[in-house]
Structure 1
Amino acid sequence: MASPTCSVLGVRALNRATLARQLLLGRATMPAGGAVAHLLGLQAQNVKPPYYQLHARLAGFRPEELGRLMEERQVVRMVTMRSTIHAHTVQDARTLRPLVQGARDREVGYFRKGLAGVDPGALAGRARGFVEEEPRTMGEIREELLRQWPGADPQALAVAARCLLPLVQVTPRGVWGRGGQVRLTTLERWTGEGEGETEGEGMDGLVLRYLAAFGPASVKDMQTWAGLTRLRGVFEGLRPRLVTFRDENGVELFDLPDAPRPDPGTPAPPRFLPAFDNLLLSHADRARVVPPEFKGRNTSGNQSRCVLMTDGFLGGVWAAAGGAVTVELFRETAAAVKEEIVAEGEAMLAALGDGPGKVRFGSVRG
């Protein structure tokens, strides 16, 4: 049985613990598939962000490694947490999607006016048969469903299909250096129904894995990450196996007894992260990585900007264009730190750009 604690973890202690779990205090020497599993998936609304996420976290990462996993159908891109597209190992896709399916079913309910007279089971069945014949675009799926329900709202039909079925984006979409229209089929058809399936770990297992990747964390933190509610009972059931802390606001935080909690003074190197990196999206209170004075500065309208982490916290934004990276810093920064930022940016360009490139400091639009 774990021994409970009443220690208070300050912002820097939480920051360093989270960075350690996120492989951002030092690049890890693990394969790309292992990192995708450890991180419980990578935000993947667009093609390139998963590659930038792994470059920031893994020693010697090459984009071809993740691309090969996608082509070999060991990693898939599909809607899971927060109704957003993530890149998951096949095992996690099969485990996670059922756990968040209730939230996806509720999402369909938001479009019920546009789905008047549409039976969800019939819709799911027709869409499944259509995409399992061959991968289809979302436009093709809408047209097929409109043939059966011509009076329904086309967007509502598309959302319902996306939510009711575990649809994956098939390759070459998502593969580094290759283009491709978004085409969808079911997880089962793409990966082989039942092959390599992970034994159901349930919500208990998901909580433990979330803490391993994002802890220490509160119940609300995990609910924010997963897009789920009513997880208090799961945490309470696991309490004997966990340790607890408080943050500076008195919020209870849960953690794995043996998880890393580095000294708050541990150095944190600069890291370039893409838009929508889960580091910045997976806690109800983001102060552990976003200083209050910079809240909202990594977004422009409803778009997220690529972020630069300095000393473990949001310190600026960046954009790449024409073989160069422009960095906008949010505060005065020592010359030595700027040198580290330039070296990190040049390494990123060498690994993920078109070759050696320049890093400059200035304003980033948008």
Structure 2
Amino acid sequence: MRTVDDRERRARLAVRHALHPDHRVPDPVAAARAMTVLHATEAATVHLAVRARTDPEAPPAPEDVDRVLGEDRSLVKQLAMRRTLFVLPRDLLPAVLGSASARVAQTQRRALVRDVERHGVAPDGEAWVDRARSGVLDRLTGAAPTNARQLREELPELAGQVVHAPGKSYGGAAPLAPRVLTLLGAEGLVVRGPNAGHWRLNRPTWVLADEWLGGQVEPTGTAEGYAELVRRWLRTFGPGTLEDLQWWLGSTRTAARAALAAVDAVPVALDDGSTAWLLPDDLDPVGPVEPWAALLPTLDPTTMGWRGRDFYLDARLRPLLFDTNGNAGTTAWWDGRVVGAWVQDDEGVVQVVAAPGVRLPAEARRALDVEADRLTRWLDGVRVGTVYPSPLMRHARLP
């Protein structure tokens, strides 16, 4: 069994993820393909992730990314693995709908039916959900993109709310309409159309999927869909362990193992002695690359690509760079390892914050300062907030 050491894993990351300056990609679609999918839970992550992987001197502007999503539609937003929103290439959509999204849809429907009955919205939760789904689909047929509030106000089928944690400061009433849209999206019947707000904010509108995409998308079978996802994930993130893959897919261990077998994945050894997997045509060693610097956004697909992160992240830094739910904040990278985070001051200037105990050589500091200046100029005064700030971001002290 061939060993892929941590140094080679970091070299593969630099090349496959288009983060090394010699391996950047030309446009947003190529960036999404390089990463298999882009995280889209926070709208700004998509734009910043594309910027980090394209021409550092002339990266796509935010409106260029929005154009690909809203006009060209060669990229599409889809709720999929781990009930997370992603941006993915159109040709991956059938596999996602047949596997990860279908699993999410089943879970979402069960939970919605349960809550409709438990909170007294209707005695028959299944019937309520079916009426709500039909109402939305009828309303959106032939219609312009419509936001959730409009749908809730116009459709009596969507009336109803559930009350979480009554009497608690963090509790309150929540309408059911957004959950119906989430279900329909996971089922592949509706998609998120043009964003109705600033590029850094999620303000989705909703359209019928077949109308937005120019025809019906036929989901693959479950096994076929997972196999295609695993094939692309291994190309991007390999070598990865079974645990990495199961976590990323949000699947059962059985489904992940079956997908590895379906793509004829080959076992390799890692530095820590564990077994990981590569595609059979991807076994040649990847040589070292010159040191590189990058500033990646909250929930970037590289930072969130593996469950086991020790090869690029010192274990003692993990509590500083991830919140308690496992969401990654912004990250600063040097030569294949996370060395800190980045934040903006009140005027939008990007500042790199080294993690405590990390000593950066002068070369690294200079390279990260260049990246900070590039990002500041690209943002052009726009301040990007997040609901997932890491402890290091929260406690940064700016001059």
Indicate the TM-score class for this superposition, using the shorter chain for normalisation: 0.7 to 0.9
Distance 2:154 2:2 in 1: 58
CA change 1:173–1:271 in 2 (3 A) is: farther
CA change 1:58–1:227 in 2 (3 A) is: same
Q: CA deviation at 1:162?
A: 0.5
Find the counterpart in structure 1 of residue 351 from structure 2.
326
CA change 1:268–1:98 in 2 (3 A) is: farther
Give secondary structure in 2 for the equivalent of 1:76: strand
Give secondary structure in 1 for the equivalent of 2:290: coil
CA change 1:227–1:186 in 2 (3 A) is: farther
Corresponding position: 1:186 with 2:208: yes
Find the counterpart in structure 1 of residue 321 from structure 2.
298
CA change 1:252–1:144 in 2 (3 A) is: farther
Q: How many residues align?
A: 348
Find the counterpart in structure 2 of residue 159 from structure 1.
179
Find the counterpart in structure 2 of residue 102 from structure 1.
103
Q: CA deviation at 1:340?
A: 0.8
CA change 1:148–1:156 in 2 (3 A) is: closer
Residues 149-192 of structure 1: CA distance to partner in whole angstroms, max 9, x if unpaired? 75663545532431243343221447758x88322223222222
Distance 2:212 2:65 in 1: 17
CA change 1:15–1:234 in 2 (3 A) is: same
Give secondary structure in 2 for the equivalent of 1:351: helix
- Match of residue 13, structure 1, among 8, 24, 35: 8
Distance 2:216 2:80 in 1: 19
Find the counterpart in structure 1 of residue 375 from structure 2.
348
- Match of residue 137, structure 2, among 100, 121, 128: 128
CA contact (8 A) 1:224 1:282 kept: no
Q: CA deviation at 1:318?
A: 0.7
Q: CA deviation at 1:235?
A: 1.2
Distance 1:108 1:115 in 2: 11
Q: CA deviation at 1:325?
A: 0.9
Q: CA deviation at 1:301?
A: 5.2
CA contact (8 A) 2:350 2:372 kept: yes
Give secondary structure in 2 for the equivalent of 1:276: coil
Q: CA deviation at 1:271?
A: 0.3
Corresponding position: 1:233 with 2:258: yes
Q: CA deviation at 1:75?
A: 2.1
CA contact (8 A) 1:290 1:314 kept: yes
Question: Sequence identity, in percent?
Answer: 19
CA change 1:107–1:15 in 2 (3 A) is: farther
- Match of residue 286, structure 1, among 309, 316, 320: 309
Distance 1:53 1:270 in 2: 14
CA change 1:38–1:326 in 2 (3 A) is: closer
Find the counterpart in structure 2 of residue 262 from structure 1.
286
- Aligned CA-pair RMSD: 2.9
CA contact (8 A) 1:123 1:161 kept: no
Give secondary structure in 2 for the equivalent of 1:287: coil
Distance 1:105 1:143 in 2: 27
Map of 1:32-111 to 2, 5 A cutoff? Answer: 32-59=28-55, 60-63=58-61, 64-72=63-71, 73-100=73-100, 101-111=102-112
Give secondary structure in 1 for the equivalent of 2:125: coil
CA contact (8 A) 1:289 1:312 kept: yes
Give secondary structure in 2 for the equivalent of 1:235: helix
Distance 2:349 2:6 in 1: 34
Distance 1:281 1:38 in 2: 15
Distance 1:170 1:337 in 2: 41
CA contact (8 A) 1:270 1:344 kept: yes
CA change 1:336–1:151 in 2 (3 A) is: closer
Distance 1:340 1:251 in 2: 34
Distance 2:371 2:317 in 1: 22
Find the counterpart in structure 1 of residue 116 from structure 2.
115
Find the counterpart in structure 1 of residue 121 from structure 2.
none
In structure 2, the gaps of 5 or more residues are 118-123, 163-173, 383-391
CA contact (8 A) 1:70 1:175 kept: no
- Match of residue 233, structure 2, among 210, 223, 230: 210
Find the counterpart in structure 2 of residue 22 from structure 1.
17
Give secondary structure in 2 for the equivalent of 1:286: coil
CA change 1:346–1:248 in 2 (3 A) is: same
Find the counterpart in structure 2 of residue 315 from structure 1.
339
Residue range with higher mean Cα deviation, 278-287 or 244-253: 244-253
Residue type of the alignment partner of 2:65: L
Give secondary structure in 2 for the equivalent of 1:278: coil
Residue type of the alignment partner of 2:38: L
- Match of residue 276, structure 2, among 227, 230, 253: 253
Higher relative contact order (CA 8 A, sep 6+): 1
Residues 36-90 of structure 1: CA distance to partner in whole angstroms, max 9, x if unpaired? 1332221112232112111211224222432221231222223222212212233
Give secondary structure in 1 for the equivalent of 2:183: helix
Distance 2:251 2:176 in 1: 22
Q: CA deviation at 1:351?
A: 2.9
Distance 2:350 2:96 in 1: 36
